[in-house]
A and B are shown apart, each in its own frame.
Chain A
Amino acid sequence: MLENIKDIICSFVDVEHDSITADSKLTADLGLCSMDLAMLSSEIENEFGVVLSPKVFATVKTVGAIAEYIEQQK
């Protein structure tokens, strides 16, 4: 699942897939803005079939935390 999330993130920010880790911070490390996060939430919903409001990113701040959140929602 982490790999799929990294793939999606790579369509928003120009970073190498392999340079993204579970600990990468979405805003501070990867540079995603609130607009990116909004679109990311939509793509994650489509990919994993879970409801993910952009507001979740106030507390879900890393790539690994997204994976954990999806697991909890499933």
Chain B
Amino acid sequence: MKQSSVPSVKELLNEGAAKFGSATFIKYIENGQIKEKSFIQIRDDSECVCRLIRHGNNKKINIAVIGKTSYEYLVFCSGVLSSGNVFVPFSPEISVDEAAELFERADIEMLFFEEAFADRAAELSAAFPELKSVCFSQADEIYAKYSADSEYSSLSDIEEDKEQCAIIIYTSGTTGVKKGVMLSMNALVGNIMYREYCTDIFNEGVVALSVLPMYHTFCFSGDYIKNLKDGLQVCLNGEFRDIAENLKRFQPKVIRIVPMIAQSLLGKIKILLRRNPSLTPRQAAEEVYGKNIKWLISGGAYLSPELVVEYDKLGIFLRQGYGMTEAGCRISVPDDGVAFESVGRIIDLCEVRTLNGEIQVKTPTVMMGYYKMPEETKEMFTEDGWLKTGDIGYVTEDNQLFITGRVKNLIILSSGENVSPEAIERKFSSVELVEEVLVYGEGNKLIAEFYPNAEYAQANGINNIEQELERIVDSLNETAKSSHLISEVRVRDIPFEKTGPGKIKRYETKI
């Protein structure tokens, strides 16, 4: 099945400017003040970045964009996507070493970065002398130099080939090696062009709060591209921890979340209700979420039906969707008629089948493959061309999808963060006190369980092994990414059970 007439991001920006004009599209906080940018403004600013990229550069290149969600982040992403080049997003928490490895593998030739990344950008520039890099802080100069009435104006007039790769998104693999998912423009934008059943949400002027990181497909595709198409007003939360304040400030109607956010904010609502018995559940919910809240769209991790039921009592639809970057993002989306346990209704673009229990998908928005990884790409597909999701589940007659288990090793915390346990376990390979280690998730915590080297402990006068392991873990935590922090140390007396030579049998992640 092929979709007809899918717009590009450039065309969506132009359509947004024509249709919604000077209405506010992006709202954010800068120096304590609310700033607003219109549909016209973001189109114009993105065009300036597009011209900057094309100034003196005629060949197609891969461009990394690194930053937390901000207006400039969106402008630079859009500029890359409008320029016919390939947008490669990375987490702003990425270390120099990991970035250097991925830049090499992804053939990155240009880098746009936020100021907080400046030191790491300088190190990367030293390692890659050919790398051109531009900091977001230069945005105003770029907007002035490359404006529509400048001598460079024609540089943004390009013919787009929407079948070509537009974005490479690196995802954690089960082996710990990140793989770059290549999506064409048709797949990236095509995935939001499904038939929508939530008719009262995705409309002009509806306020959405964007809290998840934009370098994740779920957020970029939904909070940015889909909202641009539908004309919503997107309020950027900025720092994750400011969510309570921003909910009151922006009063959103819809938020894309991960289950941990819903769980945590429900805790606040329950405390309010217990301490203020005169409040109704809805009033307490509005104290925390603001008066307009109606929809919470969850993704990225398992959402418990109990939580859904609790939110229903508050007059808030909390439902989940399901997808994977390899499918272009969405496979199923929620509507207000789906069952609590369902992960939504399969979108009209996708065909889903189950083979030996595994959910498999055919969609026009499927990836072009993993960048420079033909073997890994091949492994993701069946011989007859269906994408293997690695998840176990079933489909009902009314097209609702249910997931019952995961066949992957990957730890998916209830925060939605994917953690490769092998990557963390490897850090202990040079620690002599550690004979064996297994990292696994419980809820939103990472646990490291050790089988220590008792002989080494005895020889070195280590009496309290657990305390010493905690000290080692604390010291590793100091330099770890926030999603890789180990919350608990467990010590065992006997070696782990093995599945093969030296291969520890993994526990099932308890969510």
Contacts and interface: CB of A to CB of B under 8 A. Distances in A.
A58 B267 CA distance: 22
B264 A39 contact: yes
Given A33-B260, A33-B444, A35-B260, A14 B241 contact: no
A4 interface: no
A42 B264 contact: no
Interface in A8-63: 10-14, 27-28, 33-36, 38-43, 54-55, 58-59
Contacts of A43: 244
A39 B444 contact: no
Contacts of A10: 271
Contacts of B239: 42
Interface string B253-278: 00000001101100110110010000
A13 B267 contact: yes
B240 interface: yes
Interface stretch (B142-150, B401-409, B474-482): B474-482
Interface in B446-490: 474, 477-478, 480, 482, 485, 487-488
B264 A58 contact: no
A42 B249 CA distance: 15
Interface residues on A, range: 20 to 34
Interface string B402-418: 00000000000001000
Nearest to A33: B444
A39 B244 contact: yes
B415 A35 contact: yes
Contacts of A55: 482
A11 B267 CA distance: 9
Contacts of A11: 268, 271
B245 interface: yes
Nearest to A38: B241
Nearest to A35: B264
Nearest to A34: B444
A14 B268 CA distance: 8
A13 B266 CA distance: 10
Contacts of A28: 488
A34 B260 contact: yes
A14 B271 CA distance: 6
B244 A33 contact: no
Contacts of B444: 33-35
Given A28-B488, A33-B264, A39-B241, 8 more contacts: A34-B260, A34-B444, A35-B444, A39-B264, A42-B239, A42-B242, A54-B241, A58-B480
- Nearest 4 pairs of A and B residues by beta carbon: A38-B241, A35-B264, A42-B241, A58-B477
Interface of B: 239-245, 260-261, 263-264, 267-268, 270-271, 274, 415, 443-445, 474, 477-478, 480, 482, 485, 487-488
Interface of A: 10-14, 27-28, 33-36, 38-43, 54-55, 58-59
